[in-house]
Chain A
Amino acid sequence: MTLQELIDHPCAWFVDHACGEVAISSRIRLARNVAGYPFPSRAEPVQLREIRHNVLRTLSQLDLFDQGWVSETDEVSARDRMLLFERSLMSREHMENEESGAIGVSRDEQDVVMVNEEDHLRLQVVRPGLSLESAWEEMQTLDASMEEHVDYAFSSKYGYLTCCPSNTGTGLRAGVMLHLPGLALLDEVRPVMRGLAKMGLAVRGPGGEGSDADGFLYQVSNQVTLGRSEQDIIGELHQVVDELVTHEYNARLRLEEVRPNGLRDKVGRAAGILQNAWELSSKEALDLLAMVRLGLAMDLLAVEEEHVVERLMIEVRPAHLQKLAGKELNPGERDRFRALRVRSKLAELRKGPKL
């Protein structure tokens, strides 16, 4: 499979959830290191290449990746790495590190192995919707298949040994991407986040640490990785996310009650701008698409093509846009091409039964 074939598919984990659902995707990541080698930050280049060679050999023996896409990072152009980052297939750190890295992605993009990131191995499983348990099931299979070929650095006291102490133990980061426009419109995201932080959960924009919450997309994940079992960590996160989802639906109901006109104004303006704009920045497009997504979920808007908004939420990002255009675009050209793409895709967007 080539990279082009991979990205020609719609981004399944982002798109395949039920329309308008609050929980967009669930992600499980495991940090693992290979026994007998220093962690990437202190390893010699020759050691990193050795690890990469061994892991790539392993990946070629696993059907999951053999039928998917596997590459050394330095063979992927900077723009394509950015594209993989926009699709959450690569971390920011991995995108920026050209040396000795490698990546394996399954055909459906739901299983990913990153080689020589902060740790020798980062395993990732992403599933659409709120499906942490099934992602964890899949992850255990992936972890076990890797372990057959690779000896992990492990201590009976500390568990899986990782470069950063914040990952020590299970090496597990479980996260759910949530779309929270209702809470955002009611200015309630901040207090909710403070509450989550007190519970030891992290809330971030979708690109991971330090990224903005463009499009009202938030990622809620565990911080504690040691002293608790994977099932406990995942179970608690699931419970909190369930509550958050209810909270978001309640916020939408309250909006309808308290600010029916304000809500319609926001959704209607978003649709109007997206259908008529000739220049759109990435942030503006994402924020407005988020409002349209809210409008579709609340029957204020309607559209024939399923998941058209979700697809656009990926396509309007800079690297994706340039891939679509088939050439390099400067920021101004991108804004015009983005507006063109959105206009044509949303031409059929119309009023819903409740507007």
Chain B
Amino acid sequence: MKCEHCDQTATVHVTRVAQGKVHKVHLCEACAQKMGMGPSPSSTGSGPTVADALLGGGMSGSVSSPHRVRRCPGCGLTLRGLQKEGRLGCAQCYDVFGEELDRILRSIHDAVEHRGRTPGEGVKRQDLGRKMDVLQSRLTRAIEAEAFEDAAKIRDELQHLQTTLEAKLEENRKASGNKEVYPS
């Protein structure tokens, strides 16, 4: 019998119960080790590994179908790559592989939604930056079309955003200047 993840002979046979269904998994020793199912001491004791979750995911439905190669446009990671490595390649992977990822996250964290700290100014700055990009391209288009009245309005709006952004940065600098960052 061949390993389900490569062409080696399967020597590790694992019976798993996931969502009330029994799955048999056949793996070669190397793949089993990678998935935390081998006899290595590090695979014992702790909760479900990423690979466990991926494998659970790969066993059901269309995700393991060789006919659909889904690839992240941001970094080129394929679903197969994700299943093999258990690692994401970039922020965009989170959108591209959302469905599989939710399954993985649920098995590790028993949750799929963040409840903690959120970035403060950093993200607001990114939002402002994005808005400014959009306005900048609208401005270019307006000038090209010789719609100068529109262009003036857009330019004012851009200037307003620029001032806001600078004020925010200044505020941050002041706030961090007041903080005693280095305890004596």
Binding site for B on A (CB under 8 A): 33, 35, 37-39, 41-42, 62-64, 67, 106-108, 118, 140-141, 143-145, 147-148, 150-166, 168-170, 172, 193-194, 197, 200, 202-203, 209-210, 223-230
Contact = CB atoms under 8 A, between A and B. Distances in A.
A230 B116 contact: yes
B45 to A, nearest CB: 5
B32 interface: no
A223 B47 contact: yes
A163 B126 contact: no
B108 interface: yes
Contacts of B172: 148
B122 A39 contact: no
Contact of B76 (A42, A141, A197, A202): A42
Interface stretch (B88-96, B137-145, B149-157): B88-96
Nearest to B76: A42
B118 interface: yes
Contacts of A194: 45
A334 to B, nearest CB: 26
Contacts of B114: 155-160, 168-170, 226-227
Query: By DSSP majority rule, is chain B's interface helix, strand, loop, or mixed?
Result: loop
Given A157-B113, A158-B94, A147 B120 contact: yes
Contacts of B169: 148
A228 B111 contact: yes
B165 to A, nearest CB: 13
A116 B125 CA distance: 23
Contacts of A140: 117
Contacts of A226: 105, 108-109, 111-114
Nearest to A211: B42
A157 to B, nearest CB: 6
Contact of A197 (B46, B110, B123): B46
B144 to A, nearest CB: 27
B112 to A, nearest CB: 7
Contacts of A143: 117
Contacts of B112: 157-158, 226-227
Contacts of B87: 39, 41, 118, 163-164
B75 A230 contact: no
Of all A-B residue pairs in the complex, the 10 with the closest CB atoms, nearest first, are: A227-B111, A159-B114, A42-B89, A226-B109, A38-B90, A170-B116, A38-B75, A153-B91, A147-B122, A42-B75
B42 A210 contact: yes
Query: By DSSP majority rule, is chain A's interface helix, strand, loop, or mixed?
Result: loop
A155 B91 contact: yes
Nearest to B54: A165
B122 A148 contact: yes
A38 B104 CA distance: 20
9 contacts: A67-B182, A152-B119, A154-B118, A154-B122, A154-B123, A224-B108, A224-B109, A224-B111, A227-B111
B1 interface: no
B115 interface: yes
Contacts of A162: 88
Interface residues of B, number: 47
Contact of B121 (A38, A62, A148, A166): A148
Interface in B119-139: 119-123, 125-126
B19 interface: no
A229 B115 contact: yes
Contact of B47 (A152, A197, A225): A197
B123 to A, nearest CB: 6
Interface string B55-95: 00000000000000000001111000000011111110010
A212 to B, nearest CB: 10
Nearest to A63: B182
A233 to B, nearest CB: 8
Contact of B45 (A41, A166, A197, A227): A197
Nearest to A62: B181
A194 B138 CA distance: 61
A165 B86 contact: yes
B91 to A, nearest CB: 4
Contacts of B104: 165
Contact of A230 (B74, B113, B117, B176): B117
B101 to A, nearest CB: 7
B111 A161 contact: no
A143 B172 CA distance: 13
Nearest to A66: B182
A200 B89 contact: no
B181 to A, nearest CB: 5
B179 interface: yes
A228 B182 contact: no
Nearest to B116: A170
